[in-house]
Copies of this chain bind each other. A is one copy, B any other.
Amino acid sequence: MNNKFIRIYEDIADRIRTGEIEAGTLLQSELDLSESYQTSRETIRKALKMLYEEGYIQKIQGKGSIVLDIRKIDFPISGLVSFKELAKKMGHRAQTYVKVFKEQQVDQALHKKINFGLNEQVWEIRRVRKVDGEYVILDKDYISQRLVPGLSKEICNDSIYEYIEQELGLSISFAKKEILVEEPTAEDRELLDLEGFHNVVVVRSQVYLEDASQFQYTESRHRPDKFRFVDFARRR
């Protein structure tokens, strides 16, 4: 197996999660670790850098690496996670209903809203998500047909990301997101259980593949009481 530093990262991360290495204590020094793992110090430093970035440890020059309390970070879903993965992680009974699935050409109006080229063919998808018996999320997706061919209603019902990564063998790489609060539209009122709610939380995302090409634009509209965003941020 490749990637020595990732194996070391995973090993230490596991030992922190299980509590074998306790929060508040210091890790072995980098020199000690390089001997324990039979590797060079730079490789250890790569593994520690990952642990640092994921919030497992805090490094202090001259002192050592403090193990942080990972339990408090519980679900840092700031990243890029599909609804299916998320629901599973949160232990929700969740269902997806595809309301619209059609092919669409990017016209002037759409071109202004999203980043795709004029006249490019896209899949236009509307899905509602039912969580614990209520319709609380409406997802409006536009996905490039050129980059993601062969999409179907059935795939949308399951997981588009799984299809892209496992069937097409593409890698989803990064996203730019914007979170705002807006008034519900007529469509929101029609498709979601919004009685008594005066706002929806709107998450607009542009999602990119590994070669930096944008394949997706999504507007995800959430009932405000069911919205939660957790973030772990380091000062730059």
A176 at the interface (CB under 8 A from B): yes
* Segment of A102-110, A142-150, A227-235 in the binding face: A227-235
Neighbouring B residues of A121 by C-beta, 8 Å: none
Q: CB within 8 Å of B: which of A187-213?
A: 198-199, 201, 206, 208, 210-212
Contact call B199/A72, Cβ cutoff below 8 A: no
Contact call A234/B80, Cβ cutoff below 8 A: yes
Contact call B210/A78, Cβ cutoff below 8 A: no
Q: Which of B80, B231, B236 is A177 in contact with, Cβ under 8 Å?
A: B231
A73 at the interface (CB under 8 A from B): yes
Neighbouring B residues of A225 by C-beta, 8 Å: 181
Q: Which of B58, B79, B201, B227 is A235 in contact with, Cβ under 8 Å?
A: B79
Closest Cβ of chain B to A215, distance in Å, is 13
A66 at the interface (CB under 8 A from B): yes
A120 to B228, CA, bound (A): 30
A175 at the interface (CB under 8 A from B): yes
Contact call A231/B179, Cβ cutoff below 8 A: yes
Closest Cβ of chain B to A14, distance in Å, is 16
Residue of B nearest to A171 (CB): B235
Q: Which of B60, B179, B230, B236 is A211 in contact with, Cβ under 8 Å?
A: B60
Contact call A201/B178, Cβ cutoff below 8 A: no
A180 at the interface (CB under 8 A from B): yes
**Contacts A66-B212, A72-B206, A198-B199: A235 and B172 contacting too (C-beta < 8 A)?**
yes
